[in-house]
Amino acid sequence: MLFSEIVYGPIHSRRLGTSLGINLMPTTQKICSFNCVYCECGFNQPVNGKIQLPTVKQFSLALENKLQQLQTSKIDVITFSGNGEPTMHPKFSEIIDETIRLRNLYAPEAKISVLSNSTQLYKREVVNALWKADNRILKLDSAITPTMQLIDDPADKHITPEIIIRYLKQFDGDFILQTCFLKGQWKGQTIDNTTTEELNAWYNAVRLLQPKELMIYVIDRATPVKTLEKIAPETMQQIAEPLIKEGFKVIISA
């Protein structure tokens, strides 16, 4: 499923409420630094020719038009997600500034959220822009390298959980950690980030990072890998329980 507009929705988000979505990638294909087995947008495809990304002006016009149309509706959040990794847009920082301006003008109660796979956090301008968002929702699907690379399939094969964790430390816990739990088979290997070994490594990462909130969820839509299994709600509750007891805020979408 690809998003065919720069600004889409509003849609109901399991975790965020009434969400106005932002897509900074092409409307015809997914462009991402990860190639996750569970991504609702499917797998990355070869790029033919020049990639057409929305300009800041195109984005601004699209968002302003949509916000004007929704003046009588309540928007809980403006969410950057779409057909790939939003922080890969070369003008991401300017786009965040423009979003804040238009949000303040038309929907001052709405939060600005960015869903990111954390791979671009080596860029100072991306980190600075994310500090301006209300919700930095940053991914860590496994704290064990082979599992993370099997699930997320980073374009840069040097990306490991240790590198992602180092990037995340820049926010001193002022972010939301997001993890998808799943099982299945892919490329002749077993995927399961709910094992004792996996959970212990993930718990240690959570304790090190001390995020202000955790969002843990299961696959909910069609995925490009058809052998994936949805984790049972009771298992998700069991995964969350030790952290809840330690005082972490955990949102479960199961």
**Sheet-wide strand order for 135-139:** 7-13, 17-22, 77-80, 111-116, 135-139, 176-180, 213-217, 250-253
Residues of the chain with pLDDT under 70: 14-15, 49
Measure the CA–CA gap between 96 and 129, rounded to whole angstroms: 6
Predicted TM-score of the model (pTM): 0.93
Q: What is the pLDDT of residue 204?
A: 98
Q: What is the pLDDT of residue 220?
A: 84
> Would you call 21 helix, strand, or coil by DSSP?
strand
Q: What is the pLDDT of residue 246?
A: 97
Q: Where are the chain's structural domains?
A: 7-253
> Would you call 77 helix, strand, or coil by DSSP?
strand
Question: With respect to CATH, is domain 7-253 assigned 3.20.20.70?
Answer: yes
Q: What is the pLDDT of residue 168?
A: 97
Q: What is the pLDDT of residue 41?
A: 86
- Condensed to tens digits (0 to 9), the pLDDT of residues 117-163 reads 999 999 999 999 999 999 999 999 999 999 999 999 999 999 999 99
Measure the CA–CA gap between 4 and 182, rounded to whole angstroms: 28
Q: What is the pLDDT of residue 11?
A: 84
CB 113 within 8 A of CB 134: yes
Q: What is the pLDDT of residue 189?
A: 94
